[in-house]
Structure 1
Amino acid sequence: MRAPAPDSLPAMAAEVAADAAAVAGRHADSVDREARFPAEAFAALKEARLLGLMVPRDFGGGGGGLADAAAVAHALARQCPSTGLIYAMHQIQVACLVRHGQGSDWHRGFLERLAGEQLLLASATTEAGIGGDVRSSACAVEGAGDDATGAAFRLEKQATVISYGTEADAILVTARRTADSPPSDQVIVPVLRGQTRLEEIGGWDTLGMRGTRSIGFRLVAEADRAQILPLPYADISARTMLPVTHILWSSVWLGIATDAVARAAAFIRAEARKRPGTPPPGARRLAEATAGLQTMRGMVRGALARFEEAADDPDRLTAPGFTVAMNTLKTEAAEMVVRIVGQAMLAGGLAAYRNDSPYSLCRHLRDAHSAPLMINNDRILGNTANLLLAHRDNGTLFG
């Protein structure tokens, strides 16, 4: 498998990922049926050195950008949505380290390890007792003073979800800065496998996205304070984690929708060949699904372009209008993927409804329904509503 070229375009990144995507596709049914981690696909991704895609070349990585990661996540999701989503979640953590960790010796060394060893990163942001609000933490960094940069600390978190936690080589954990800090004064710290104990506090038997293995854990970590990212989590979230999450998640959902429409189109064409000159009954539904897919694709591309234009400007990244745009991407894309897959299923009829059909959309439909729940659309819409009290759209076509 080829590693991505330093100046790779998104299309090239997707081409490099084609072999790994094919592996993901061959094992997708097994991953879904057994609710297991897609180990075969990630072995292929590591071989292609795609876990370090966004790490700068100076650290031994692929030097790719967010568009490259989105293209790979999309290509994987077309074959196995669980694989695509895990890859997206990994790259969200990589983006945080790349954009906010290069000023620290420890994090520069970690980026080199990430690229060299193709480490898989997970995150622990949710927590029992905070009601799903990732901008609050109950747990805290404990055991050393703020100025003891080389001192050890201890952290214990009741994490309601750590996707693929037992398979990850490192987990980025949010916590209060100190035991005396308020819930919103958070930091984020990467803790390595050997520094962490995980005890399962829940199972994972779900409708869809079963391969993500999003189990709850009691996480206990002991590490050095040098591992804490220096920028407050509030800034990391606004400048990187929130927009990158919504763009990469939406790219995954777009991959699901793309494959659903492709399967529906294949079915309609097969039916049309049986009765030349007579449009199959589902052709109109296919047209509706295709129109929705084109709209969704334009929305994801537009959000990606908007982020890349603002990427180096903290003021633009933290402006209410930018946050509204990224929140809207998430909520709309999450609803669109459910709608598009539903239209594609109507186009395919019973062939799409069957599990044993080459045109089956059963897994697509189940996986799509996870989208509005990650993070719940109602929570995001509530946050957007509050932002709109202070923000007014300028009404321009290209604003």
Structure 2
Amino acid sequence: MLHEPVTEGEPLPGGIARVVAVAAEFADAVDRDGRFPHEAVQALREEGLLGAMVPTSLGGQGASLADLARQTQALGRVCASTAMVYAMHHSQLACIVGHGLDQDWHRAFAARIAAEQLLLASITSEVGIGGDTRSSACAVEIADGQMTLVKQAPTVSYGAHADVFLVTARAHADAVASEQVMVTVPRDQAEMEPTGTWDALGMRGTCSIGFTFRASGSPDQVLPASFAEISAESMVPVSHLLWSAAWTGIAIEALARARRFLRAQARRSRGAVPPGAARLVRASGEIDGLRARLGPLIAQFDACSPLTDGPPAMTPDEAGWPTGMARAAALNMLKLDVSETACDVVMEAMRICGMAGYKNGTEFSVGRHLRDIVSAQLMINNDRIAANTGQLLLAQRTDLGTI
């Protein structure tokens, strides 16, 4: 179960609890200076959490998505940038664990990720393509037993700090834009030329600058499944579910601060209900609604997940996990709902706390939370997602809202 709304939740296991404490200590500095959360990521390494999703047979922790969601949400409460780095890292690790372990190169590399605690980053966006992850302009070229690719990426989150890159490209020079593969590229096989800077409103520690990316390596570094399969079965579900955990963490913390503010008001005015109490009720209900949406989807994914070292416990039908267009629509609508509702909750927290929340440096400050949560509607832009989801809903044959 994810953390209770506006409460401190259950005690965290020791490893992630230490990481959360480190992330909290440096969160304001990360935001103020727009720098990568080095200390928190180093703590993740020291606790073995960058290999959390890797199966235990390969030296990882074999963590479920529910485990990772709890960890991501806890990080989101204290440092949204650290939470987003952790979520994006595991959305990429899911591509290897879910679709590469039957291949010798990727199976050995998964073990290396766990042993060396390598940080993975995604390169899916491209100049001229924008946020459409299902199209590529660049192509993989294979000649004389060597794989090469060149990609113009407008944003690579924490690219200057990652150890490994998972890069999308057309399968070959004659492939159409949607005929894509995903390539695993260790940093020592890449040349990266920065093409921009990162001075953003929020999520400042993700350091998402652009690069001209050049890579060369073995053809075995191309994941054996098509990117269409990887995206639908692993990358999109894991990214949307873990992003949602991070965003709800931000909202929960903002509302927790608002509740502490109201309690302080109530202590000063015995017998009077603080004027912001009605807003707290509404916002708490919105958090409960998000949790009711997110929790079952995570449980369904885990029940039939490909991210296991062995066969899944259930089929998608048995677990109630949607497939095909229904799954894509469900995940898209989750992203839309969480990104917009979490922003509404943080704004309500700001209204409750008033100037004490608006000002930086108070125990009730929620300015950083508001700036960070605004990014949720832009990672992949909600207008694009809504348009795509509308097409999916029009194409579905089932009645909408049936049980």
Equivalent position amino acid for 1:255 in 2: G
Please state how far the C-alpha of 1:321 moved relative to its aligned partner. 1.3
Which SS does the other structure have where 2:174 is aligned? coil
* Alpha-carbon contact 2:358-2:365 (below 8 Å) kept: yes
Equivalent residue number for residue 100 of structure 2? 101
**Structure 2 gap ranges (5+):** 1-8, 307-314
In the alignment, structure 1 residue 290 sits paired with structure 2 residue 284: yes
Which SS does the other structure have where 1:156 is aligned? strand
Alignment of 1:169-180 (within 5 A): 169-180=163-174
**Alignment equivalent of 2:229, drawn from 228, 231, 235:** 235
Computed over aligned residues only, the root mean square deviation of the Cα atoms, in angstroms, reads 1.7
In the alignment, structure 1 residue 204 sits paired with structure 2 residue 205: no
Equivalent residue number for residue 212 of structure 2? 218
* Alpha-carbon contact 1:14-1:75 (below 8 Å) kept: no
Q: Whole-Å Cα distance in 2 between the matches of residues 318 and 178 of structure 1?
A: 28
Please state how far the C-alpha of 1:308 moved relative to its aligned partner. 2.8
Which SS does the other structure have where 1:326 is aligned? helix
In the alignment, structure 1 residue 381 sits paired with structure 2 residue 386: yes
Please state how far the C-alpha of 1:305 moved relative to its aligned partner. 2.3
Shift in CA distance, 13/120, structure 1 to aligned 2, threshold 3 Å: farther
Equivalent residue number for residue 6 of structure 1? none
Please state how far the C-alpha of 1:94 moved relative to its aligned partner. 0.9
Report the more deviating stretch, 367-376 or 309-318.
Answer: 309-318
**Structure 1 gap ranges (5+):** 1-9
Equivalent position amino acid for 2:242 in 1: L
Give the TM-score, by structure 1 length. Answer: 0.93
Please state how far the C-alpha of 1:189 moved relative to its aligned partner. 0.7
Q: Whole-Å Cα distance in 2 between the matches of residues 56 and 234 of structure 1?
A: 24
Report the more deviating stretch, 354-363 or 303-312.
Answer: 303-312
In the alignment, structure 1 residue 181 sits paired with structure 2 residue 175: yes
Please state how far the C-alpha of 1:289 moved relative to its aligned partner. 1.4
Percent identical pairs in the alignment equals: 49
Structure ranking higher on relative contact order (CA contacts 8 Å, 6+ apart): 2
Q: Whole-Å Cα distance in 2 between the matches of residues 13 and 314 of structure 1?
A: 30
Shift in CA distance, 165/94, structure 1 to aligned 2, threshold 3 Å: same
Q: How many residues align?
A: 384
* Alpha-carbon contact 2:142-2:219 (below 8 Å) kept: no
Which SS does the other structure have where 1:171 is aligned? strand
Shift in CA distance, 169/39, structure 1 to aligned 2, threshold 3 Å: same
Please state how far the C-alpha of 1:93 moved relative to its aligned partner. 0.7
Equivalent residue number for residue 243 of structure 2? 249
Shift in CA distance, 22/387, structure 1 to aligned 2, threshold 3 Å: same
Please state how far the C-alpha of 1:11 moved relative to its aligned partner. 6.6
Give the TM-score, by structure 2 length. Answer: 0.92
Which SS does the other structure have where 2:395 is aligned? coil
- What per-residue deviation string (whole Å, max 9, x for no partner) do you get for residues 107-142 of structure 1? 011011000011100010000011321100011111
**Alignment equivalent of 2:154, drawn from 160, 168, 179:** 160
Please state how far the C-alpha of 1:16 moved relative to its aligned partner. 3.0
Q: Whole-Å Cα distance in 2 between the matches of residues 14 and 205 of structure 1?
A: 34
Which SS does the other structure have where 2:113 is aligned? helix
Please state how far the C-alpha of 1:76 moved relative to its aligned partner. 0.6
In the alignment, structure 1 residue 20 sits paired with structure 2 residue 19: yes
* Alpha-carbon contact 2:64-2:302 (below 8 Å) kept: no
Equivalent residue number for residue 346 of structure 2? 341
Please state how far the C-alpha of 1:143 moved relative to its aligned partner. 3.5
- What per-residue deviation string (whole Å, max 9, x for no partner) do you get for residues 38-78 of structure 1? 00001111111111111000000001111111111111110
Q: Whole-Å Cα distance in 2 between the matches of residues 98 and 92 of structure 1?
A: 10
